[in-house]
């Protein structure tokens, strides 16, 4: 039996009530499917996540916002890029002898505990974006984990087909143009107001695909490879990289994704999909939607599971017996707290003080997906 729970706005007509019930049924089916996947992950791998921000010092409470702002048209979210102060190292701790779980490949961290640890460094940014756009809890964190595994300067892992001698081989040259904690292609980032490398406005820009940006003589450019080379160069600082492409600014990247999801939830819906499903399908593409949503919901579950939290703590601490922060012995909780506190350097404090929004359909989405699969079923 499906338990009906409407903590926000209960539908006031029978047609909408029916659609909510159908979505809840799909939700329950998904939860049953995730039960086995999560159990397997817990049994076979040392994994973990931290549910809360572990701050050593209490931050000044931000004023409560009395009312969320409604946006007239769903496309207006494209124009709401926040104004943030320039990147500034207000907090620059000295972290020594850090051993992060797993290795980093072209696809990000290669172990689940590695993905979790790296993702949690950005949790206070993710939480702020979720709050601002009335999104389900842990959604932005789950997308970070899926897209970059928390490696903020990671290009996507797409390879290009190049002729090597007499044969054609798939070669990695910096992806096909997707960058950011949550990967955004140049065209999408441009659409949501972010400055992109050389104003790249292509969905794929790898120098091979026909839709790649073109040079003065019509030659295909690879802005993906050029930006990747800049990231790999010791001569280009993090601050300079964020000026080259705002997708590499963690807060601006996550905010753009939050606005994108808000606009997709509020805009034209895909037949047979609820607003949440529509948003994820428009981001991932209908072809990839089923697997992508399953991955996102699985990530949300892992980010909320008490056993994985404790297991990750143990794994991290086992490999970091010599970790120090500002010359003081440190452990997992200290590291996560320190990493999250560093996010003030990106303008997080100022961002948290700006107004919150109420996207159309967001309360309906929260009624359906407001938990993070913490029920005993999982």
How do residues 221-267 score in pLDDT, each as one tens digit? Answer: 999 999 999 999 999 999 999 999 999 999 999 999 999 999 999 99
Sign of the dihedral through C-alpha 327, 320, 107, 302: negative
Confidence of residue 351 (pLDDT cuts 50, 70, 90): very high
Q: Give the mean model confidence (pLDDT) for residues 33-46.
A: 41
Domains contained in the chain, number? 1
Sequence-distant (≥ 6) Cβ neighbours of residue 35 within 8 angstroms = 377, 378
pLDDT score for 61 = 43
* pLDDT value at residue 373: 56
Residue 284 sits in which domain range?
14-152+248-369
How high is the pLDDT of residue 369? Answer: 95
pLDDT in tens, 124-145: 999 999 999 999 999 999 999 9
Q: What is the pLDDT of residue 360?
A: 96
The answer to whether residue 207 sits within a structural domain is no
Residue 125 domain-assigned?
yes
**Which has the minimum average pLDDT: 30-44, 229-243, 268-282, 361-375?**
30-44
**The most confident of 2-11, 173-182, 261-270, by mean pLDDT:** 261-270
Q: Of 22-36, 70-84, 167-181, where does mean pLDDT reach its minimum?
A: 22-36
Backbone angles phi, psi at 9, to 5 degrees: -115, 115
| Whole-number pLDDT of residue 306 | 85
Q: How confident is the model at residue 167 (pLDDT cuts 50, 70, 90)?
A: confident
Among 6-15, 215-224, 275-284, 312-321, name the one with the lowest average pLDDT: 6-15
Flag whether 186 is in a domain. no
- Is 55 within the bounds of a domain? yes
Residue 316 has, within 13 A of its CA and on its CB side, a CA count of 28
* 143 within 8 A of 119, measured Cβ to Cβ: no
User: Per-residue confidence at 36, pLDDT binned at 50, 70, 90?
Assistant: very low
Confidence at 344, pLDDT banded by 50, 70, 90? very high
The reply to whether 213 falls in a domain is: no
pLDDT class for 286, splitting at 50, 70, 90?
confident
Q: Is residue 268 part of a domain?
A: yes
User: Would the pLDDT of 19 be above 80?
Assistant: no
Taking all residues of the chain, what is their mean pLDDT, rounded to a whole number? 84
194 pLDDT band, cuts 50/70/90, is very high
* Domain-embedded: residue 302: yes
Whether pLDDT at 172 is above 60: yes
Instruction: Using the predicted structure, report yes or no on whether residue 378 has a pLDDT greater than 50.
Output: no
How high is the pLDDT of residue 165?
79
Assess if residue 188 is contained within a domain: no
Tokens, residue 32 = 């049953």
| Span 73-88, average pLDDT | 95
Q: Which two tokens stand for residue 88?
A: 């500034």
**CA 140 to chain centroid:** 4
Number of Cβ within a 10 Å radius of residue 370: 13
Proportion of the chain above pLDDT 70, given as a percent: 81
The predicted model gives 45-58 an average pLDDT of 38
CB atoms < 10 A from the CB of 284, how many? 18
> Do 90 and 349 touch, CB atoms closer than 8 A?
no
Query: Residue 29 has what pLDDT?
Result: 54
């Amino acid at each position: 039996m499906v338990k009906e729970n409407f903590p926000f706005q209960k539908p006031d007509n029978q047609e909408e009530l029916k659609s909510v019930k159908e979505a809840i049924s799909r939700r329950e089916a998904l939860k049953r499917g995730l039960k086995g996947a999560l159990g397997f992950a817990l049994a076979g791998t040392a994994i973990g996540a931290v549910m809360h921000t572990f701050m050593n010092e209490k931050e000044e409470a931000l004023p409560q916002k009395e009312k969320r702002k409604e946006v007239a048209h769903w496309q207006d979210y494209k124009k709401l890029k926040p104004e943030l102060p320039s990147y500034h190292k207000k907090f620059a701790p000295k972290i020594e002898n850090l051993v992060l779980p797993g290795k980093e490949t072209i696809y990000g961290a290669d172990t689940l505990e590695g993905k979790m640890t790296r993702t949690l460094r950005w949790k206070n940014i993710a939480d702020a974006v979720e709050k601002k756009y009335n999104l389900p809890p842990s959604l932005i964190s789950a997308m970070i984990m899926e897209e970059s595994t928390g490696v903020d300067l990671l290009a996507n892992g797409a390879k290009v087909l190049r002729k090597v001698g007499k044969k054609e081989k798939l070669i990695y040259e910096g992806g096909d143009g997707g960058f950011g904690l949550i990967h955004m292609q140049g065209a999408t980032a441009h659409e949501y107001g972010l400055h992109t490398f050389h104003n790249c406005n292509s969905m794929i820009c790898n120098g091979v695909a026909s839709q790649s940006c073109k040079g003065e003589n019509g030659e295909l450019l690879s802005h993906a490879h050029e930006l990747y080379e800049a990231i790999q160069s010791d001569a280009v600082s993090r601050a300079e990289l964020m000026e080259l492409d705002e997708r590499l600014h963690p807060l601006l990247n996550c905010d753009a994704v939050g606005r994108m999801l808000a606009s997709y939830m509020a805009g034209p819906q895909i037949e047979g999909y609820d607003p949440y499903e529509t948003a994820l399908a428009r981001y991932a593409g209908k072809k990839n939607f089923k697997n992508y949503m399953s991955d996102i919901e699985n990530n949300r579950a892992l980010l909320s599971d008490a056993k994985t939290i404790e297991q990750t703590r143990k794994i991290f601490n086992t490999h970091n017996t010599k970790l120090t922060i500002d010359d003081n012995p440190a452990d997992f909780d200290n590291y996560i707290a320190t990493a999250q506190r560093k996010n003030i350097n990106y303008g997080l404090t100022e961002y948290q003080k700006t107004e919150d929004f109420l996207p159309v359909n967001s309360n309906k989405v929260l009624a359906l997906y407001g938990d993070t699969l913490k029920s005993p079923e999982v």
